[in-house]
Amino acid sequence: MAGNSDLTVPVSISAGIHIGFIVILALGISFEDKPKQMQTAAASAPAVQAIVIDQQKVNDRVEQLKKQKQDVAKQEKARQAELERKASEARREREREQEKIKTLEIQRKQKEQETQKANDAAKAAQAKQVLEKERADKAEVVRKQKEQEQKASEDAAKKAAEKRKQEEAAAKKAQEERQRADDERKRKEDAERKRKAEADTKARQEREMAEAMAAEQDSLSKTRNKQVLSEVDKYKAMIIATIQRNLVVDESMRGKSCRVFIRLASDGFVTTSQTLDGDQVVCRAAKASINKAGRLPVSPEPAVYQQLKEINLTVSPEFN
């Protein structure tokens, strides 16, 4: 700004000289015609006055231009100051933004660390929960095993006590039966001895009668045995037919067989079935057929049933 002030005076002087020169030219003043001007000096007094007035205008104009230049300089200075202020404000704003970014970055890192710590803590807690659950599960398994063992022990003790009671009751009943048998035997012996004397006279007759009855019974027994054997064969065939009816066969069984043992209740219910020997496939099919049947045909005749209650059979698959 000091440099601008130093230029103001020369510029003003130069402007004044140029303006004065322009005014002289406009008025038609000639420096070569001095004697004539001197002669007409009195006549041109109004012109001089006009020149003075115009010089005032020039000075005013110079002042106006000077003031305008000063105003422009002030405005430029104000503009530069405003630019510097805005630049400073922008710089401070950038610094604030950078500081804010740094603060946010620090907060972000702190947040990440806190999140990582929280995740680590959560993982540790989860792992602890898993471990505790595994321990609890193992403890529960051990507890259940102990409960089962205790229950099994209690059941075994209960069964042993029941068995002991049954054995004691059976022994007591057997003892009572033996005692009754002994009493009965003694009673019979006593009665026999009493009757012996009376029976001696009838013994021979009774022996003769017994021999006759034995001969007759032997004859009847032979006839009965034939009938029983015929019934046994019939029911044995019915049993085999029942097994064949429930037997599931395939070509791999052709020409093969299996021997089975069967134990039957009086109503035909199969209480035991065992394979003795033969083809394994046929044996499995035969046992499955017997189990499926559940009951097999039996005779209501006790003698026939006695022959069939435990039997060995040979099962051979039949193909149509």
**Could you give the C-alpha distances from 139 to 127, 134, 145, in angstroms and in order?**
18, 8, 10
pLDDT tens digits for range 78-136? 988 888 888 888 888 888 888 889 888 898 888 888 888 888 888 888 888 888 888 89
Q: What percent of the chain has pLDDT over 90?
A: 13
- Residue 270 contacts residue 256 (beta carbons within 8 Å): no
Please give the Cα distance from 125 to 117 (Å, whole number): 12
- pLDDT class for 260, splitting at 50, 70, 90? very high
The fold adopted by the segment(s) 230-315 is 3.30.1150
Check residue 149 and give its pLDDT.
86
pLDDT category of residue 55 using cuts at 50, 70 and 90: confident
The answer to whether 58 touches 23, Cβ cutoff 8 Å, is yes
pLDDT (tens digit per residue) in 134-175: 889 888 899 888 888 888 888 888 888 888 888 888 888 888
Domain positions in the chain: 230-315
Q: What does DSSP assign to residue 267?
A: T
Residue 68 has pLDDT above 70, yes or no: yes
Tokens 């791999």 correspond to 252
pLDDT for residue 161: 86
pLDDT in tens, 179-223: 888 888 888 888 788 777 777 776 665 665 555 455 445 544 444
pLDDT at residue 286, as a whole number: 92
Is pTM, for the whole model, over 0.95?
no
Write out pLDDT tens, residues 279-313.
999 999 999 999 998 889 998 888 888 888 899 99
Write the DSSP symbol of residue 295. Answer: B
Dist. CA 159–CA 154, nearest whole Å: 8
What residue type is 144 in one-letter code?
Answer: K
The values of phi and psi at residue 269, to 5°, are -70, 130
Q: Which two tokens stand for residue 116?
A: 């990582």
